[in-house]
Amino acid sequence: MKMIKFFTTTLFLLVISAALALGNEEFFGDWTGELATPQGNLPLIVTIMEDETGALSAVLESPAQAPGQKIPITSISIEENTLSFSIQAIGASYVGTWDAAEKHWVGTFKQGIEFPLILKRGVPEPNPIIEGMDGVWEGSVSRNNVELRLVLRVETTDQGTNPTFDAPDFGAFGLPVSNFSKDGEKVQFSVPAATGQFDGTLTDENTLFGTWAVAGQDDAEITFARTKMTTERQEPDRPQTPKEPFGYTVEEVSFENKTAEGVKLAGTLTLPEGEGPFPAAILISGSGPQDRDESIMGHKPFLVLSDYLTKNGIAVLRYDDRGFGGSTGDFTAATSEDFASDANAAVTYLMTRPEINNNAIGLVGHSEGGLIAPISAVNNKDIGYIVLLAGPGTNLDHLILSQRRLMGASQGVSKEDLDRTEPVFVKILSAVKTSTSKDEAIAQVTRLLTPKALEALGVPENQKDQVVKSFTSPWYRYFMKHKPVAYLSQVKVPVLAINGSLDQQVPAVENLAAIRAALANNTDATVLELEGLNHLFQTAETGAIGEYFDIPETFAPSALELVANWINARF
């Protein structure tokens, strides 16, 4: 239930393989392409190098998001006029074919979804240098009595002046800005991801006043105030993030999913002090490619949870999703059922560890992880319990519509606009849910995304293909067809299901009611709504996504204690 992250700053060791099929002059050096993403057009620079032994290496740069930051490419090969590389740190990969006539690579970049990408020799032209605008500019607009924060970040480097845009209350950071200009005191820019346009004037050197226009909404006046002269981000306060010494054993581990080709999962096993054998918890993350800590908005919920459980006598295994971080495999082709097989592989691995009580291995799944855990539990007799942290209980099309209404209201969308656009979503979700093949789903969604429907959804026409791909990916099609109750009703092991009362992504009342009904015949099922907690189990005020980053707390102590006590009471 999380937004796709296009790039992260985590760096991993370089693994190199190459079989050269082209002359050196053809592929060494810089290659540039542009992704047409829902967030806007993103230029990428791939730099391919060769060391003295003839081994290839490469780095990736996203100059619009992080100018100057070079992300190591994990593996790269050129074989039979095909360029392939993967970047496990961000869960991305590319396969392209050499076009001899045009002398460029034509291929597909994958990161959660697929994007066509042509890589041409050279680097992008530097942006124009715009004097006097560097720094952080903060403002807000009011929509239906909701104040929505907007942040413009401007940085000038040797690649010119590079602006990016944050909309914290939408959970959006580092959005590309286009058409940024300054003529005297007049300043203009647009944010394609938000279909937003700013037109204003510098009233003094630190104040920018003007109009913020978004497609389908009334224009709003906004004042941006420059709060900092640099764009350097300050580390957020996260007091619960554990620091060494931990007081328990921390071991880096890896294990194969032998039911899936090329999937080797990398993770961290933490073992309590003492001899054991210990009960164990395997943590399963929510949707989108996630690292082992389930990192989000400066928080590391799984790191905090594993620290607490381990200090309370429970061993914990957490791992990077397939194709992400240190794990191999293709995330883009995987469904929730595939992720359930990864969880089962984690169970199999723990069964080999003498420190673990084989009768007390359980799964703790957050959000989509709470959908995955019951799939695993139904098919794996070695699972001793499951904990569902904001796990879905209703059918997924219903969940998405409920989520959309709650989140939309907290982001200033009027009830009238939600009512007006909901029929478009209903038709698309129904088409995906009832389709019998990928081709049928693509045809149906393409037909439904008329110019009028795209306008209602606030999607530019040039992003239609990406929207179709998102709705018809293997993961989304499985997600729409999945019925959580069908699996929950078959789970016979102990179950703890908890939801925050302020959860806007998996609404507590309706989902817990469905889970409670599905577990009616389970002799050890605990289903609880936790007052005042959001989707991340933080103590919150409204539950809106915009609060996630602002709240210093990562995981409410009361929820941590509840999970640990529940497990220990049974094992």
Cα 39 to Cα 111: distance, rounded to the nearest angstrom: 13
Residue 14 has pLDDT above 80, yes or no: no
Residue 15 has pLDDT above 70, yes or no: no
As a dihedral over the C-alpha atoms of residue 235, residue 191, residue 8, residue 28, rounded to 10 degrees, the angle is -130
Q: Average per-residue pLDDT in the chain?
A: 91
* Confidence band of 19 (pLDDT split at 50, 70, 90): very low
Q: Can you give the pLDDT at residue 39? A: 66
pLDDT, mean of residues 194-214: 95
User: By three-state DSSP, how is residue 270 classified?
Assistant: strand
Cα 56 to Cα 17: distance, rounded to the nearest angstrom: 7
- The percent helix, strand, coil of the chain (3-state, each to 5) is 25, 35, 40
Q: Can you give the pLDDT at residue 91? A: 83
Three-state SS annotation for 274-288: CCCCEEEEEEECCCC
Cα 446 to Cα 98: distance, rounded to the nearest angstrom: 30
Instruction: Name every residue whose Cβ is closer than 8 Å to that of residue 51 and which is 6 or more positions away in sequence.
Output: 57
What percent of the chain stands above pLDDT 90? 76
Nearest to 395 by CA among 308, 335, 482, 337: 482
E-state strands within 158-263:
160-167, 172-176, 178-183, 186-191, 196-204, 207-214, 220-228, 249-256
Nearest to 58 by CA among 14, 120, 124: 14
Cα 564 to Cα 249: distance, rounded to the nearest angstrom: 18
As a dihedral over the C-alpha atoms of residue 244, residue 362, residue 324, residue 437, rounded to 10 degrees, the angle is -160
CB 78 within 8 A of CB 60: no
Q: Can you give the pLDDT at residue 159? A: 83
Strand order in the sheet with 249-256: 249-256, 264-271, 315-319, 278-284, 356-366, 385-389, 495-500, 525-530
* Confidence band of 379 (pLDDT split at 50, 70, 90): confident
Residue 184 has pLDDT above 90, yes or no: yes
Cα 565 to Cα 562: distance, rounded to the nearest angstrom: 5
Q: Can you give the pLDDT at residue 55? A: 87
CB 30 within 8 A of CB 43: no
Residue 3 has pLDDT above 60, yes or no: no
CB 527 within 8 A of CB 497: yes
Question: Is-above-0.95 flag for pTM?
Answer: no
| Range ranked top by mean pLDDT from 34-43, 152-161, 164-173, 484-493 | 484-493
| Crossing angle between the packed helical segments 396-410 and 474-481, to the nearest 10 degrees | 100
Residue 4 has pLDDT above 50, yes or no: no
Q: Can you give the pLDDT at residue 460? A: 79
Instruction: Name every residue whose Cβ is closer than 8 Å to that of residue 376 and which is 6 or more positions away in sequence.
Output: 340, 341, 343, 344, 347, 363, 383, 386
Q: Can you give the pLDDT at residue 25? A: 47
Cα 290 to Cα 267: distance, rounded to the nearest angstrom: 12
Range with the lowest mean pLDDT among 3-7, 140-144, 239-243, 378-382?
3-7
* Confidence band of 192 (pLDDT split at 50, 70, 90): confident
Residue predicted with more confidence, 449 or 217: 449
Range with the lowest mean pLDDT among 19-23, 328-332, 510-514, 563-567?
19-23
> Residue 24 carries which side chain, given as an amino acid letter?
N
Q: Can you give the pLDDT at residue 89? A: 80
pLDDT, mean of residues 70-78: 91
* Confidence band of 111 (pLDDT split at 50, 70, 90): confident
The CA-atom distances, in angstroms, between 127 and each of 158, 159, 502 are: 9, 6, 43
Helices (H), 210-285: none
* Confidence band of 303 (pLDDT split at 50, 70, 90): very high
Rg of the chain over Cα atoms, rounded to whole angstroms, equals 24
Three-state SS annotation for 121-148: ECCCCCCCCCCCCCEEEEEEEEECCEEE
User: By three-state DSSP, how is residue 359 classified?
Assistant: strand
CA atoms within 13 A on the CB side of 53: 6
Distance of CA 429 to the CA centre of its chain: 21
pLDDT, mean of residues 149-163: 93
CB 73 within 8 A of CB 66: no
Report residue 195 as tokens: 């279909």
Residue 1 has pLDDT above 70, yes or no: no
Q: Can you give the pLDDT at residue 38? A: 67
Asked whether the bond before 272 is cis by omega within 30 degrees of 0, the reply is no
Give the β-pairing of 207-214 and 220-228.
Answer: antiparallel
Residue 2 has pLDDT above 70, yes or no: no
CB 156 within 8 A of CB 126: no
Cα 500 to Cα 491: distance, rounded to the nearest angstrom: 23
pLDDT, mean of residues 508-531: 98
